[in-house]
Structure 1
Amino acid sequence: MTDQTSQTDRVLAEGVDEEPVESNRRLFTGRAYRFIAALAFVYAAFHMAALNGLSVSGLIASPWSIQATLAEREAQAGFEELRAALGPEGEAFTGNSMRRLLALAEEVAPTAENTAEITALSTAIETAQAEAAELRRSAREIQSTWADRLPFLPTLPMEPWNFRMVHIAGALVLGFMMFAAHTFPPATAPPTRETRTLTLVAAALAVPALVAGATTIGFVQFLNSGQTMEMGGRVLWMSQSDVPEAFADAYSWVYGREIWWFGVPLLLATFGGIVTGWFERRERDRFAASDLVLGICAVVVAMYLIPIYSTAARNAVGTPQVPIGVAFAATAGSALILELTRRVAGMALVVITGVFLVYTFTAHLLPSILRVEVPYTWQRFFGTVYSDVGILGTTTAVSSTYIILFIIFAAFLQASKVGDYFVNFAFAMAGRARGGPAKVAIFASGLMGMINGTSAGNVVATGSLTIPLMKKVGYKPKTAGAIEAAASTGGQIMPPIMGAGAFIMAEVTGIPYQEIAAAAIIPAILYFVSIYFMVDFEAAKLGMRGMREDELPKLRKLARQVFLFIPIVILIAALFMGYSVIRAGTLATAAAAVVSWLTPYRMGLRSIAKAFEIAGIMSIQIIAVCACAGIIVGVISLTGVGARFSNLLLDLAGVSQLLALFFAMCIAILLGMGMPTTAAYAVAAAVVAPGLVALGIPLLTAHFFVFYFAVVSAITPPVALASYAAAGISGANPMETSVDSFKIGLAAFVVPFMFFYNSALLMDGTWVEILRAGATATVGVYLLAAGVLGWFMGARTVWFLRIGLVLAALSMIEGGWLTDLVGISIAAAVYLVQRLVQPAAGTVLPVRGAD
C-alpha cells in the first residue's frame, strides 16, 4: 500500500492539532500505515461480520458445517427416492419425518418386489444422516475449541453493551494510532532539550497505562474466582460502610486496588497523554508516544468495563453505589472520546459537551428553570453516563449498526467508482444550463447525499470538481463555495441514508425507518428546488453561461452504464419490501461488488480489502462524534433539562405557537452548530423534540422539524461546517462563505414550517392532498427565492415588489386554500406591476458579482 497524504483527509480535521501550513504537509510512515490499514480492515470487517452473525471460530468450522449441509441434502434426496420406491405406500405417506419413512420402509421391504433397492436407499439415508450428525458435532467442537484458543475474539452475536464498548474502543484505538503514526517533515533545527524531555515524559506515561492494564487482567481473574461468585451480587456495588464484616478484608483489597492500581494510573496516563499530545505533536518527526499511550488506555477501559458489566455490579449503574472502578474507567473513556472528537471534528462539539458537563455539577447553584435540586457526585455521574443512558445509548447503538454498515456501503461504492458516475451523470444532466457547474453541484450533491453521512464530506466529494468550474464560468470564490455548501447540506435530508439521522430518529421515536424515509422525500425535493431557484436566479442576474458540450461527458454513453445505480435500487427496494436495514445494507454492499465486474474497476479480494480499510478510516469521525453526543444526551437525561425546555415551549405556545416554533428552530440550529448530522440531531432531539410533542405536534412532524434545522445548521453562521469545508476548496473567507450559503439556503428555511402546517408534505394524506401540497409549496419557495434575489419571471425586481413576493411566499406556508389563494393573488399583482415598471426591452442592466 502506498503512502498518500490523502489517506488521512477523511479523519483529520483541518487546523485542529497543527498550524494550517503544517496541516497540509501531513505524512505517514510506510510501515506504520500498513499496520493502520490492517487495523482499519479488521475493524470494518468485524462489524460486517458481527452485524450478520458471523464469527472467526464459526468461519474456521465452516468446512465441517458445509460438509454437514451437503450430507443432509443427500439424505433429503434419498428421502424422495425412497418414497417413490415404496410405491402406493410411499405415495400415501405424509409429512417429512425421516424416521417414520425409514420405519415404513422396514415394514414394506420384506414383501416388496424391489426389496434390494429399498434396503439400499434406507442404508444410504441412515449413513448420510449419521455422517451429517458427526460433522455437525465436529463443527461445534472446533468452534468451541477455537473460541477458547482465541479468547480475545468475541463470540457473536455479542451482548449489546459489550458490542458498543468494543465499537467505541476500536474507533479510539484506530484513531489514536493514526495520529501516532502521523509525522511531519523534520525541522531544520535539531531537536531541543525541551522536545526530548517531552518525548521521554510521553513515553514514561506508558508505565501507568500498562500498570492499569495488568491490574485489569488480575481483577478479571478475581471476578472469575469462586469467591466473587458470592461477592458479585452482594458486595461489589455496596458502599464501604454497607459491606458485611465477613467480606470486609476482601472488599478493602478490591477497593484499594481499584483506586491505586487501576483508577489513578489510568487517569494519570489518560490525561497525561492528552496534555503531552498537545505539545508533542507540533515538532515531531517520528511515532508519537503520547498517542500510543492513549490507544493503550482505550483498550484498558474496554477490558475493565466489559467483564464488570457482565456481573451483578451492572445493577448499580445509576445509583450512588456504582463501583469506584467503573467511575474511573468511565472518566478515562469520556476524556478519550472528547480528545478524539477534538482532533477529528474540531472544538465546537467538545466545547458544547464541556458546557453540559459543567452544568451537571453546578446545576444545583443555578436559578429557576435550570436548577437541579440534588447534585450528582463525580462517581455517580460518570458511573452512569458510560451506560445506555449516555455514551452506550441511542447514538452509539445507531453508529455501531446502521452508520458503520452504510459507511462500508459507501466505501464499496467508492471502490467500484459508482460515486464518480453520480458526478458525471450530474454534469451530463445539468452542465449545459446557465450557471451549469452550480446546478451540477445541486444534482451531484443530491445523488452523493444518498450515500454520504456528513455535509462536509459531501462538499469534499463533489466540491473538488464543481467549485473550480463555478469559478471558471464567473462565480466569485465565496459564492461558488456557498452554493456547494448549501447543496451538499441538502444531501443529508435525501433518502435513503439521510446522514444516518433517519436511523437515530427511528431508534428514538419507534417509527419504522421506511415511514421516515418516505416522509423525507417531499421536504428533500423542496430543499433542492429552493436551492435550484436561488442558483438559477443568481446565474440569470450575473449573465452566467453553461458549460460547452465538449466540456461535458456524453449522456448517451452514461446511459449505457445506468446499471451502476443497481446497488442504490436494491437498497431502496429491500428497505421498502420489509427487509431489515442490516440485511438491505448488506445486500446493497454485495451488489456494489458484483456490479463492479461490469466495469473496468472490478473488485477482487484486494479491492474488497481496500474498501473495508477505507470504511474503517472513514468511520472514525462519525463514531467519535456519536459517542461524544451520547455524553450530552446522558446529561440531558440525568438532569431533566429536556423536560424543563418542554415547559418553556409550553409557556411560549400560550403566547404564540409560531413564536414557540421559531424558538425551537433557533435552539435546534444553535445546538447543531459545529456538529455532523447525527450528533446535531441527537442533541437537538433530546432537548427540543419533547417540547414540540408536548405542544400536541405529531411525533414524526416534531422530530423531522428538529432534524431539518439540525441539518441546516451546517450552513448557518457563525459555525457552519459545510461552508468552512467549501471555503477551504474555493480559497474564500470562511465567514463570508457561510453568510452567502445561509442566504442561498434561506428559501429552504420555510420548508419545516410548511410541513408543520400541512402534514401532507410528509406523505400523511391522500394522493390528491399530497400533490396539491407539493405543488403549492413549490410555488411558495419559488416566490421566496425570487423575493430574496430580486429576479422574478425573467426580469429584475425592484425593492418594494421583492417585499410583495416575500409576503406572497409567507402567506403560502400554512397550505390552506384561502392562504394559497392570497399568496398567488399577491404574486400575480407583483407580476402586473413589474410589467409596468420594468426597463424597456433591450436595456442593458449592470452585472454585479462577476469578476
Structure 2
Amino acid sequence: MASDKMAGNKIADDTLILAEGVDEEPIESNRRLFGPRLYLVVATLAAIYAGFHLAALNGLSISDWTGIRLGFLPTLPMETWNFRIVHVAGALALGFVLFAGTRFADDAMGETRMVEIAGWMLMIPALFAFGVALWFARLIDGGVMWNGLDATIKFRETWLYGAPLLLATIGAIVLSWMHKRERARVTAPDLVLAVCGFAVAAYLITIYGTLMRNSTGTPFAPIGISLAAVAGTLLIMELTRRVAGMALVMISVIFLAYVFVAPWLPGFLEAPRVTWQRFFSQLYTDVGVLGPTTAVSSTYIILFIIFAAFLQASKVGDYFVNFAFALAGRARGGPAKVAVFASGLMGMINGTSAGNVVATGSLTIPLMKKVGYHKKTAGAIEAAASTGGQIMPPIMGAGAFIMAEVTGIPYTEIAIAAIIPAILYFASIYFMVDFEAAKLGMRGMRDDELPKLPAMLKRVFLFIPIIILIAALFMGYSVIRAGTLATAAAAVVSWLTPYRMGIRSILKALELAGIMSIQIIVVCACAGIIVGVISLTGVGARFSSLLLGLAEASQLLAMVFAMLIAILLGMGMPTTAAYAVAASVVAPGLVQLGIPLLTAHFFVFYFAVVSAITPPVALASYAAAGISGANAMETSVASFKIGIAAFIVPFMFFYNGALLMDGTWLEIARALVTAVVGVFLLSASVQGWFLGGRSPWYMRVLLAVAALFMIEGGLVTDAIGVGLAAAIFFIQKAYRPRADAPAAVPVRGAD
C-alpha cells in the first residue's frame, strides 16, 4: 500500500506528489465486498442514512426535498428520542449487513448451508415481532390505554413481542458466530439482526410516543420496554464486537454484571438491589443508550463525519500530507516530523487514533524506516503523533462535542481552551523525534524527493472549508450550521481541483459517510450502556467519595489515582467512548475536589485519549506496529515514551489554569513559554540529548527535575527550573561529561 502511495506521480506543474490514497477508506478484514447490484443497494441505503441526518439536523422535511405538500410526510427534525432511536437502528441495520460476525468462506463449498437455513427460519419470529410492534402502534393510535399493570397488555408484550424478538436476536447472534459465507454475500442471520434492530426501534418509538416515557423505572412501565432494551443491548454489543473489538464489549459486560452482583460487593462498590425489568426499562432512555453519547453521535459526530467524507472526496487528506512533507521534510529525520504535522492536520478530520495511524502511517512509517529510524521507533512516532490528532482543535476526535454536551460549556470555549495543551503535546513529540534524529545523525529528505512548497501554497485554498468551520463557530453560528456550511464549502472548493464534486461525487461522499459513521455510532451507543449503569447504580458518586477520601491525604495522590482509572477505562476503546466512560466515573469526583469543571474534564479527556498509546492495550500502537512490522508491545512501550509529555501536561494545566486560557493575556503568554521550555527539558531528559550533545544519567535526572519545576507555573519554580537548565548547559559545555553510551554511527539514510 505504501509503495502505491509513493509512486511519485506527476501533476500538471511537474510537482512530485508523495502522498496518494491517504483519503481512501481502509477496508476492514470482516467487511463484505459486494457485487455491483448488491453494492448499489447498500450504497444507496448508506447515502440515504447520511442524507437523512443532514436533512434532519438542518430542519428540512421530505416535502422540502420533493416539492410535494402532503400531510402525512414528516417534518424534520424528528422528536429527539425518536430521532436517536432511528439513528441507532439505522447504524445497526447497515452494520450487520456490512460487517460479518466471523471469517469469510473461501468459496461456495466452504459455506455453512445448514446455518443459513436456520437463519432464515429465525426470520419468522423477527418479522413477527416487528409486525406486532406496528400492531401496538395501531392499537395505541386507536385509543387503547397502555400500561404495565394491565394483564392483557403484559401478556401481549411478553409472548407476542418480547419472546419472538429475543429468540430471533439471541439465535441470530449465535448463528452469526458459526456461519461462514463468501465475502460478496449477506448471511440470513445478519439480515435477521437488522430486522430485530427495526423491531426494537418500532416498539420504542410507539411506546415513548405515549405517556409511557415517564413510567420507565416504575411498576407502570410496560415489560416490553425492558424486553426491547435487552434485545437492543445485545444487538449493540454484538455489532461493537464486530467493528471495534472485544475490549469495549467486555467492559460493558462487567458493568452490566455489576448491576446484579453489586448488593453483595464490599465497600463503596455495594449498590442497592434492582430488578432486571426496572434496570432495562431505564437503560434505553436518556440516562443510558439514548443519553449524552448518542446525543452527540446523532448530531455533531455524524455531521463531521459527513464533512470529513466531503473533504476526502476532494482529496484534502492527500494535500495535508503533501503540505506537511513540503514544510518539514527537509529537517533532520524529516519523515518523522512530517508524521507530527500530518497527523495533527488529519486528526482534525479523522475520528480515531487508529484510523489516523492507518491514513498517514502507511506513508510516513516506511519513509521513517528508509531514513534510519528503527521500525519500532517509526511505528511509535506515528502512533504518538496520530493520538495527538484527537486533542487538536477544532474537532478533537469529536471529544469536544461530548464534553460540551456533558458539561454545558460552549463548544467554542472548549476549542479555545484546547489550543495550548495541543501545542504542548505536539511540541513535545517534535522535540522527541528531533533529538532522536540528532542522536542517530540523520539527514532530511532531498528536494527531489519532496513536493515543492510553492506548488503546495498554490493549493492552500483547500484549507478554506476548515477556515469557514472555525470562523462560523466563532461568529456565533451553531455547530450544526457551521458544520453544514463547511461541508458545502468542501464541495465548492473541489471545483478548483481535478476532483470536482458533482451529483455522483456528492452521493458517493454521503455513502462513504454512512459507512464511516457505523463504528463511531455503535461505539457511542455501547458507551451509553456503561454510562447508564454508572448513572443508575450511583457508582460514580461513590467513586467521587473515594477520591475525596484520598484527597484528604494528598490531592496529588487523588489526581494520580484519577489518571490511572481514566487510562484503565479507556484502554482498547475509541476516543469518544473512552472519554464518555471516564467522564462519567472520574470527572464528577474531580469537580467535588474543587477542581474547575473544564479543567476536570480536560484532565480526564487527555488520559482517555492517551490510553491509545498506553501499554498493555494500545490500539494506535498496535495499528502502527502492523504497518511497521515491529513487535506490538515494543511499539506500545516506545510510543508511551515518545508521548510521555501527554501524561504530564494535564497536571500542568491543573496547577496553572492559564494553560487553558483562564487568565490575562500576559499570564497565558508566560504560561505557554514556560510550559514549552518544560516539555523541551522533559524531552531532553527522556532522550538524553541536550542542546547539541548527549547527556549522562545524572544530567538527565537534573533535566527531569528542571522540567518538573516548570510545571507548577509560579515565578519562583520557573526561575528554579530555568536556573537548573542553565547550570546543566554550562556543565555540559565547560566540562563535557562523558555520555552513558557511545555516539551512534551516522545513518546514511536513503542516499
**What range describes the TM-score normalised by the shorter chain of this pair?**
over 0.9
1:583 to 456, 471, 481: 481
CA contact (8 A) 1:199 1:280 kept: yes
Written as runs of structure 1 = structure 2, the 5 A alignment for 1:398-797 is: 398-797=296-695
**CA distance, structure 2, for counterparts of residue 603 and residue 844 of structure 1:** 56
Q: Distance in 2 between matches of 1:206 and 1:620?
A: 23
The match for 1:237 among 114, 137, 148 is 148
Partners of 1:847 and 1:674 lie apart in 2 by 38
Partner of 1:356: 255
Distance in 2 between residues matched to 1:218 and 1:448, nearest whole Å: 48
- What's the CA shift string for 1:504-542, capped at 9, x where partnerless? 111111111110000000000000000000110111111
How far, CA to CA, are the matches of 1:393 and 1:531 in structure 2?
A: 36
TM-score by length of 2: 0.94
| Secondary structure at the counterpart of residue 630 of structure 2 | coil
C-alpha spacing 1:394/1:846, structure 2 compared with 1 (3 Å): same
Partner of 1:196: 113
Structure 1 position 782, deviation (Å): 0.5
Contact 2:442 2:747 in 1 (8 A): no
Corresponding letter in the other structure for 2:214 = N
Deviation at 1:733, TM superposition (A): 1.7
User: Contact (CA 8 Å) 1:165, 1:306: kept in 2 or not?
Assistant: yes
State the alpha-carbon separation in 2 of the partners of residues 401 and 285 from structure 1: 32
CA deviations over 1:256-315 (Å, ceiling 9, x no partner):
121111101101111111111111137777431111110010111101100110011111
Query: What's the secondary structure of 2:667's corresponding residue?
Result: helix
AA paired with 1:49? A
Q: Deviations over 1:757-790 (max 9, x none)?
A: 1100011111110010000000000001100110
Which of 201, 205, 224 aligns to 1:325? It is: 224
**1:237–1:58 distance in 2 versus 1, CA, 3 Å:** farther
Q: What amino acid sits opposite 2:131 in the alignment?
A: A
Look up the SS of the partner of 1:812 in the other structure. helix
Q: Would the alpha carbon gap of residues 848 and 633 (structure 1) be closer, same or farther in structure 2, given more than 3 Å must change? A: farther
Q: Does 1:35 align with 2:41?
A: yes
Is 2:176 aligned against 1:277? yes
Deviation at 1:176, TM superposition (A): 0.7
Give distance in 1, aligned partners of 2:744 and 2:730: 23
Instruction: Work out the CA distance in 1 between the residues paired with 2:349 and 2:101.
Output: 30
List per-residue Cα deviations over 1:568-626 (Å, max 9, x = no partner). 11000000011000000000000010011111111000001111011001000000000
Change (3 A) 1:183 1:637: closer
Displacement, 1:223?
1.2
Alignment partner of 1:56 is 2:62: yes
CA shift, 1:8, in A, is 14
Secondary structure at the aligned position of 2:273 is classed as coil
Q: Is the 8 A contact 1:180 1:292 kept in 2?
A: no
Partner of 1:143, secondary structure, is coil
Aligned-residue offset at 1:830: 1.6
Q: Which amino acid aligns with 1:685?
A: A
Native 8 Å contact 2:24 2:312 kept in 1: no
Mapped pair 1:207 → 2:124: yes
The separation in 1 between residues aligned to 2:218 and 2:675, in whole angstroms, is 51
Q: Counterpart in 2 of 1:143?
A: 69
Task: Give, in whole Å, the separation in 2 of the partners of 1:183 and 1:709.
Answer: 34
Q: C-alpha displacement at 1:635, in angstroms? A: 0.4
- In 2, distance between residues paired with 1:736 and 1:604? 46
Q: Whole-Å Cα distance in 2 between the matches of residues 13 and 377 of structure 1?
A: 39
* Separation of aligned partners in 2, 1:679 and 1:823: 38
Q: What TM-score, normalized by structure 1, do the two folds share?
A: 0.83
Which amino acid counterpart does residue 135 of structure 2 have in structure 1? G
- Compute the displacement of 1:252 (Å): 3.1
For 2:349, what is the secondary structure of its paired residue? coil
Determine if contact 2:99/2:242 at 8 Å carries over to the other structure.
no
**Structure 1 contact 326–383 (Cα < 8 Å) conserved:** yes
1:10 to partner: Cα distance:
5.6
Distance of 2:426 and 2:183 partners within structure 1? 46
Partners of 2:200 and 2:22 lie apart in 1 by 28
- Give distance in 2, aligned partners of 1:355 and 1:541: 46
- Are the structure 2 counterparts of residues 606 and 796 from structure 1 closer, same or farther at C-alpha, using a change threshold of 3 Å? same
Query: Which residue is 1:829 aligned to?
Result: 727
- Structure 2 residue matching 1:387: 3-state secondary structure: coil
Question: In the alignment, is the contact (CA less than 8 A) between 2:34 and 2:184 conserved in 1?
Answer: no
Deviation at 1:808, TM superposition (A): 0.8
Change (3 A) 1:840 1:275: closer
Question: Which of residues 214, 218, 221 is equivalent to 2:138?
Answer: 221
* CA deviation after TM superposition for structure 1 residue 702, in Å: 0.6
Q: Is the 8 Å Cα contact of residues 402 and 503 (structure 1) preserved in structure 2?
A: yes
- The gaps in structure 2 that reach 5 residues or longer are 1-20
Matches within 5 A, 1:63-462: 142-145=68-71, 147=73, 154-179=74-99, 184=104, 186-187=106-107, 190-191=109-110, 195-226=112-143, 228=144, 231-232=145-146, 236-238=147-149, 251-281=150-180, 286-372=185-271, 374-462=272-360
Contact 1:480 1:730 in 2 (8 A): yes
Which of the two has higher C-alpha Rg? 1
Aligned-partner Cα distance in 1 for 2:89–2:25: 19
| 2-structure distance, mates of 1:146, 1:312 | 23
Q: What is the rounded CA distance, in whole Å, between the counterparts of 1:161 and 1:11 in structure 2? A: 33
- Residues 27, 182 of structure 1: 8 Å contact kept: no
| 2: CA distance, partners of 1:466 / 1:741 | 15
Code of the residue aligned with 1:222 in structure 2: it is L
Give the Å deviation of 1:334.
Answer: 0.7
Please name the residue that 2:8 is paired with.
none
Q: Give the whole-Å Cα distance in 2 for the aligned partners of 1:179 and 1:639.
A: 33
Stretches of structure 1 lacking an aligned partner (at least 5 in a row) = 1-5, 18-22, 62-141, 148-153, 239-250
Q: Which amino acid aligns with 2:54?
A: M
- 1:55-83 CA distance string (max 9 Å, x none): 2123223xxxxxxxxxxxxxxxxxxxxxx
* Higher normalized contact order (CA 8 Å, seq sep 6+, divided by chain length): 2
Residue 475 of structure 1, CA deviation: 1.4
Are the aligned partners of 2:22 and 2:318 in contact in 1 as well (CA < 8 Å)? Answer: no
CA distance in 2: counterparts of 1:845 and 1:493, whole angstroms: 35
- Equivalent-residue separation in structure 2 for 1:475 and 1:334 (angstroms): 46
Could you report, residue by residue, the CA deviation over 1:333-381 in whole angstroms, capped at 9, with x for unpaired residues?
1110001111100011001111100001110010111001x31111111
CA 1:381–1:426 in structure 2 vs 1: closer, same or farther (change >3 Å)? same
Residue identity over aligned pairs, in percent, reads 70
- SS of the residue aligned with 1:53? coil
Q: Does the aligned pair in 2 maintain the 1:166–1:302 contact within 8 Å?
A: yes
Q: Distance in 2 between matches of 1:277 and 1:10?
A: 25
CA contact (8 A) 2:333 2:433 kept: yes
Query: How many angstroms does 1:545 deviate by?
Result: 1.6
Q: How many angstroms apart in 2 are the aligned matches of 1:473 and 1:283?
A: 42
Cα 1:691–1:471 change in 2 (3 A) is same
Distance 1:459 1:589 in 2: 24
Between 195-204 and 412-421, the greater mean CA deviation after superposition = 195-204
